[in-house]
Structure 1
Amino acid sequence: MPDLVARLRAAGCVFAEEEAALLESAARSPEELEVLTRRRIAGEPLEHVLGWVDFDGGRVAVEAGVFVPRQRTAYLVELAAERLTPEATVVDLCCGSGALGLALARRLPGLTVIAADVDPRAVACAARNLAAVGGTAVTGDLDAPLPDALRGRVDVIVANVPYVPSAAVALMPPESRDHEPRGTVDGGADGLDLLRRVAALAPRWLRPGGALLSEVADGDQAEAARAAYAAAGLTARLDHDDEREATVVTGVRSAAASRRH
């Protein structure tokens, strides 16, 4: 154990002791531990090495090439859960591993969850995660694969879209920059390309009073995101959690919007 901790610390792992314990618990033999350790030392995200991440109090399976949910995003889950009952329907767009839909279904057993992502690898991972809660995952660009029967009936859309401005991607930690698909973090020139598309489509799917929630960066981007939601006809607000440094923009479909769409 001390040798393993020293190797991880030398490789730049800030929480070397915790990571060493996790790697040892995951390995079924000394040989496998060595393989896992070398992968981590080479810079592969710990979550990909382990095959899971602890998110919102439960494990979520992740794998190479799939975005790893960030701990701050549990704030979005908390805000979304406040708007739901166990009989509600949730759509998880840009779902990645399906972590948001899974976390909500764990909080509210009986919830109907449909997740969608353009990447087949992510959808396969999400399908495995959501199977335990009766959810489904479909492949396609944003809302393209959603069944028409959901139009105007969705209670909450969670869309953890990429929101890092293109010029800032190079400044991200190498674990994300080098091991997660660029499309899962790069949000275009100002980081809001996909958010604007999601805001524009959301009123077609939300029931009156239903809400769209996305995570954004605090400050100017958050204000621009709120404006994009408002431009789509949603009543928009911002919430911020100082401890987790998390900002969420929420847009609610009004009764007036329901008549227009």
Structure 2
Amino acid sequence: MTPTLFTPDRPALVGRLRAAGCVFAEDEAELLIAAAGSAEALADLVDRRVAGLPLEHLLGWAEFCGLRVAVDPGVFVPRGRTALLVAAAAAVAGPAPAVLDLCCGSGAAALVLHGRLAPRWLAAADLDPAAVACARRNLDPLGVPVYEGDLFTPVPSRWRGRLDLVVANAPYVPSEAVAMLPPEARLYEAPVALDGGVDGLAVLRRVAAGAAEWLAPGGHLAVEVSAGQAAALCAVLADVGLTPTVVRDDELEATAVTARRPG
């Protein structure tokens, strides 16, 4: 790495970040210093971070499952807890699966699954044009298509009933709770990526109904949800003919649900 040509005041920088509520102020300081090419650029980055902009939007990338994923302004930042969703999906995928990543955001899940699964077909889809553009930047080099549209709507119809795995990190925050999210999410990420309707399950109900048609017999759906919503979601999945299993990781404070279409 080329050394910086300026000498930042690290203690002062860490102090500003910590005062602004940045829990990992020391780590953030080093990342911002590395991203800045001058004292002026660093001052601008720090000012915007202190004002509440997500660190990942300032850097232009997020670390997810050991990979660096490009993240554009306004696009949902992949969360560390979603590593459980990816792991749960990979565990049920089977050999050389046909995989669809719905509500893909930056395409982070598809990017990781591409390396873990060696799928025979892999695609991603999202409703938000900004997310689609970002996901294409991450996935185009791998030859993974990214479709723009509502859930399964833009996916080629030839895959209806033939998918082995559908992964969806769909929005599941109840509408009334969106206002209580951290400002980084509430103010700087697209509402469509956060708001899951009255009980948080509005989009996931539609994902479940679609998966029942698009999965091959024996195929699996894998989604992320809160711990308190898992039982209600399992009932939704059972109602559309899928067999659900809840996966929990207390260390990540994460809950995922996989659901199999009977063979």
Both structures adopt the same fold (TM-score exceeding 0.5) = yes
Task: Give yes or no for contact 1:109–1:133 (8 Å, CA) kept in 2.
Answer: no
Amino acid at match of 1:165: P
Q: CA deviation at 1:9?
A: 1.4
Residues paired across the two proteins, number = 254
Q: CA deviation at 1:110?
A: 5.0
Report the Cα distance in structure 2 between the residues aligned to 1:132 and 1:111, rounded to whole angstroms. 16
Equivalent residue number for residue 191 of structure 2: 182
Equivalent residue number for residue 90 of structure 1: 99
Q: CA deviation at 1:108?
A: 2.9
Equivalent residue number for residue 258 of structure 1: none
**Could you say if the C-alpha distance between residues 132 and 84 of structure 1 is closer, same or farther in structure 2, counting changes exceeding 3 Å?**
farther
Q: Which SS does the other structure have where 2:101 is aligned? A: strand
Equivalent residue number for residue 8 of structure 1: 17
Report the Cα distance in structure 2 between the residues aligned to 1:185 and 1:65, rounded to whole angstroms. 12
Report the Cα distance in structure 2 between the residues aligned to 1:86 and 1:14, rounded to whole angstroms. 41
Q: CA deviation at 1:85?
A: 4.9
Amino acid at match of 2:136: A
Q: In the alignment, does 2:237 pair up with 1:229?
A: yes
Report the Cα distance in structure 2 between the residues aligned to 1:112 and 1:38, rounded to whole angstroms. 43
Structure 2 unmatched runs, 5+: 1-9
Q: Which SS does the other structure have where 1:103 is aligned? A: helix
TM-score, normalized by length of structure 2?
Answer: 0.93
| Moved beyond 3 Å, runs of 4+ | none
Q: Which SS does the other structure have where 1:13 is aligned? A: coil
Report the Cα distance in structure 1 between the residues aligned to 2:231 and 2:93, rounded to whole angstroms. 26
Report the Cα distance in structure 1 between the residues aligned to 2:180 and 2:49, rounded to whole angstroms. 21
Amino acid at match of 1:42: A
Identity of aligned residues (%): 57
2:51 counterpart (42, 45, 67): 42
Equivalent residue number for residue 170 of structure 2: 161
Amino acid at match of 2:22: C
1:240 counterpart (236, 241, 248): 248
Amino acid at match of 2:197: G
Report the Cα distance in structure 2 between the residues aligned to 1:249 and 1:231, rounded to whole angstroms. 15
2:111 counterpart (93, 102, 109): 102
Equivalent residue number for residue 85 of structure 2: 76
Residues 190-213 of structure 1, C-alpha deviation per residue, up to 9 Å, x if partnerless? Answer: 100000001001122111111011
Structure 1 unmatched runs, 5+: 256-261
Report the Cα distance in structure 1 between the residues aligned to 2:119 and 2:210, rounded to whole angstroms. 26
1:57 counterpart (23, 48, 66): 66
Q: Please, which moves more after superposition, 104-113 or 13-22?
A: 104-113
Q: CA deviation at 1:245?
A: 1.1
Amino acid at match of 2:144: G
Task: Give yes or no for contact 1:106–1:133 (8 Å, CA) kept in 2.
Answer: no
Q: Which SS does the other structure have where 2:92 is aligned? A: coil
Residues 138-180 of structure 1, C-alpha deviation per residue, up to 9 Å, x if partnerless? Answer: 1001111000111111111001110011111111111111111
Amino acid at match of 2:35: A
Report the Cα distance in structure 1 between the residues aligned to 2:148 and 2:126, rounded to whole angstroms. 5
Q: CA deviation at 1:232?
A: 0.9
